[in-house]
């Protein structure tokens, strides 16, 4: 069993039941999935940037990402409908908890001038999105093979009633929130 999954079941669930006076363990908010998205705008001119992003996202997540395509044509960006412009991967279950564990304990402390993550990134429905400026903070990525620095978004989809429930869940799992 993943270390963070064990912590969720043994420590977080009882804590949230007590904190919010919930009636049973099934009403406790849980992380349903984690979505990692890389928008590769440079892929319009050169397809190699997209292939490199797919390789890095495969290395980071442990599964092959899906290629995302443009929904509309935008002449100002030289973008045509159906053109490949990014990639994303959805993690669930054991692989998701292993990614979150590595993300909290290894990746976030490697961010330059890291003082905690913002509390303001909840969407009003309990989901949390965090943007990273470069893929080099992941230890799995070989820095010598990178031709371009690429950012990404990491979204935690949570089955909570509100942002307060989700914030407490992530905080009890060890997410280092900034005190604002």
**Closest to 5 (Cα-Cα) out of 23, 31, 26, 39:** 31
Rounded Cα–Cα distance for residues 28 and 31 (Å):
10
Q: Can you name the CATH fold of 3-173?
A: 50s Ribosomal Protein L5; Chain: A, (3.30.1440)
Sheet containing strand 66-69, strands side by side: 66-69, 84-91, 31-39, 152-158, 128-132
- Tens of pLDDT, residue by residue over 88-125, are 999 999 999 999 999 998 888 888 888 888 888 888 88
Of the two residues 54 and 180, the one the predictor is more confident about is 54
Question: What mean pLDDT comes out for the span 18-47?
Answer: 85
Written as six digits, the tokens of 40 are: 């590769």
Q: What is the pLDDT of residues 122-171, one digit of tens each?
A: 888 889 999 988 888 888 888 877 878 888 999 999 997 788 999 999 99
Whole-number mean pLDDT of the chain?
87
| Domain map (residue ranges) of the chain | 3-173
């Amino acid at each position: 069993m993943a270390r963070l999954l064990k912590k969720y079941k043994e420590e977080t669930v009882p804590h949230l039941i007590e904190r919010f006076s919930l009636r049973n363990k099934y009403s406790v908010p849980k992380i349903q999935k984690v979505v990692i998205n890389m928008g590769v705008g440079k892929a319009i001119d050169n397809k190699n940037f997209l292939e490199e992003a797919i390789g890095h996202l495969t290395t980071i997540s442990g599964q092959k990402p899906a290629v995302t395509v443009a929904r509309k044509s935008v002449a100002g960006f030289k973008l045509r409908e159906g053109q490949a412009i990014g990639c994303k991967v959805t993690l669930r279950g054991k692989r998701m908890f292993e990614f979150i564990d590595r993300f909290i304990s290894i990746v976030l402390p490697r961010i330059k001038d890291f003082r905690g993550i913002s509390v303001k990134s909840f969407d009003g429905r309990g989901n949390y999105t965090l943007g990273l400026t470069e893929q080099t903070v992941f230890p799995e990525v070989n820095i010598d093979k990178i031709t371009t620095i690429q950012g990404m978004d990491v979204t935690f989809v949570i089955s909570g009633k509100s942002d307060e429930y989700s914030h407490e869940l992530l905080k009890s799992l060890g997410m280092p929130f900034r005190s604002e």
